[in-house]
Amino acid sequence: MSILSFKNVNKGFGVGIHRAEVLKDINLEVKEGEFLAILGFSGTGKSTLMNLVAGLEKPDSGTLTYRGKPITEPGPERGLIFQSYSLMPWLTVGGNVGLAVDAVFPKLSKAERQAKIDHYVSMVGLSHATARRPAELSGGMRPRVSVALPLIHL
């Protein structure tokens, strides 16, 4: 069984003569363990496709499933890292990761919470930068904080 399946998926925006069909008759099967790269010019529907997978958008027609179940809304089993990451500038790396930890594991003790934060910060190679704010991070380090956030749901 496919982990992700698109069957005759269509998605467009606008109405009447201003309507643009962004995705048309998309059929795709992604199996467990497969890696997939989505390439294309600006405006060809890459972000729309990812928004459908994340459950942020719904197809106009066709079916989209994750592990055989329809994707109808965002869920913790699917994460999306946006191109323009949105970190809280007044929080440290640990503080930003802590927000996500609190959302997923709201009943942790203080020590368990800190252990989770440390674990996910370490997973993206930023243990040395836990106390830094986003403005103090390099351009390559900021997106790594954003990568840690969906990992917390796994």
Per-residue pLDDT of the chain (154 residues; tens, 9 = 90+): 789 999 999 999 999 999 999 999 999 999 998 988 899 898 899 999 999 998 989 999 999 999 999 999 888 788 777 766 778 999 999 999 999 899 889 999 999 999 999 999 999 999 999 999 999 999 889 889 988 888 887 7
Confidence (pTM)? 0.70
How far is CA 7 from each of CA 31, 43, 142, rounded to the nearest angstrom?
A: 14, 22, 36
pLDDT at 84: 66
Angle CA(126)–CA(35)–CA(5) in degrees, nearest 5? 120
Diameter of the chain measured on Cα atoms: 58
Residue ranges covered by each domain of the chain: 2-70, 93-151
Distance CA 49, CA 38 (A): 9
CATH architecture, domain 2-70: 3-Layer(aba) Sandwich (3.40)
Return the pLDDT at 125: 96
At 124 the pLDDT is 95
